[in-house]
Amino acid sequence: MTDPWRCDTVLTPERRLDVLDLLNRTESLLGREAIDETRRRIVVHGWRAEHWLQYHGAELSQYAMVNGSGQVMVEMCGGGVDDDLLTHLLAKHESLDWWTRGPQTPAHATCEIVRTLQLMQVTLPVDSVDVPSGATLRNFEPGRDEMEWLAQNNAAFADHPEQGAWLLADLDERIREPWFDPSGFLLLEIDGRLAASCWTKVHELHPDRFGEIYIISVHPDFRGRGLGRVMVTQGLEVLRRKGVSRAMLFVDQSNASAMALYESLGFRVERDDRLVHFTR
């Protein structure tokens, strides 16, 4: 028999293991991530959030996380929407945004799609574009480059809802993650300034061991020079040299210029993830 949904703000060690086991089983079943990387990290580190759990006997059958300051953000393990959980959440929150993954967008009268992220993939190798004459391409150096990279990245994503407000703590947390590898974090300097960057990631524990363009950005002062193409292709070449044969990235569907760049390099859309807004 399935138990009612329950909410914990802090997961006990036992429940944290239950959630991680469910996430891992779901990823194995779906062949993709079960939940956003940032929210998975919240589970891994035992940080506070609204952790919603539903057990079937002794086994955790469903899990969702609610977090965010201001507008509430929801994601469910596997990327779906549960009507019973939605009722619970709308009783607690006047409105909320819910991430759905793939073809799981709900058809509720009280919701609207407010954002679409597209997962794009490409088979490697991809021809790389040479670094411009006079520019320097090097690896990120922890302890040296944090503040300059934050300034460059936040300027590039000034209007972005997630990427444009990184703090030093956000960067430091990821540098301490086991997957962090500075050899895959490329910086491009022009005239003594950080002009662009491409942070790549290898998903070592995934059965397909694929690569990801984790963050790609060009400072506004250096746009219009083709540096986005340079950095993406240089990042893909780094992944290829690490033995990766497939790479992916996420891009906002509304970002037409980025979409055109990625498509010209051979990326193809594999999945749509939609942010759905619910109100009471």
Q: What is the mean pLDDT of residues 117-122?
A: 96
Percent of the chain clearing pLDDT 70 (strictly above) = 97
Q: Is residue 221 assigned to a domain?
A: yes
Segment 254-270, tens digit of pLDDT: 999 999 999 999 999 99
175 and 109 within one domain: no
The label of the residue with tokens 């397909």 reads 208
175 and 201 within one domain: yes
* Contact call for residues 42 and 65 (beta carbons, < 8 A): yes
39 and 100 within one domain: yes
214 and 109 within one domain: no
Q: What is the mean pLDDT of residues 237-256?
A: 96
Per-residue pLDDT at 280: 81
Give the separation between CA 97 and CA 75, rounded to whole angstroms.
9
Helix (H) / strand (E) element for 194: namely strand 193-202
Q: Is residue 266 assigned to a domain?
A: no
Segment 3-60, tens digit of pLDDT: 999 999 999 999 999 999 999 999 988 888 899 999 999 999 999 999 999 999 999 9
110 and 135 within one domain: no
129 and 240 within one domain: yes
193 and 148 within one domain: yes
Chain centre to alpha carbon of residue 156: 17
Q: Is residue 62 assigned to a domain?
A: yes
Count structural domains, the chain.
2
Q: What is the mean pLDDT of residues 73-100?
A: 93
99 and 201 within one domain: no
Per-residue pLDDT at 104: 62
Instruction: Tally Cβ neighbours within 10 Å of residue 97.
Output: 18
183 and 97 within one domain: no
Q: Is residue 73 assigned to a domain?
A: yes
Which of 88, 115, 142 corresponds to the end of one domain?
A: 115
Residue 166 domain boundaries:
125-244
Q: Is residue 55 assigned to a domain?
A: yes
Name the amino acid, one letter, at 225. R
**What's this model's pTM, rounded to 2 decimal places?**
0.90
Segment 54-76, tens digit of pLDDT: 999 999 999 999 998 778 999 99
Name the amino acid, one letter, at 259. M
Segment 165-221, tens digit of pLDDT: 899 999 999 999 999 999 999 999 999 999 999 999 999 888 889 999 999 999 999
Where residue 159 sits, what CATH number does that domain have? 3.40.630.30
Q: Is 224 left (phi over 0), alpha (psi -120 to 50) or beta?
A: left
Per-residue pLDDT at 207: 81
Q: Is residue 211 assigned to a domain?
A: yes
* Contact call for residues 89 and 96 (beta carbons, < 8 A): yes
229 and 200 within one domain: yes
Q: Which of 222, 214, 279 is nearest to 248 (CA)?
A: 214
132 and 107 within one domain: no
Give Cα separations from 102 to 79, 125, 263 (angstroms). Answer: 8, 27, 20
Which of 82, 115, 148 corresponds to the end of one domain?
A: 115
188 and 107 within one domain: no
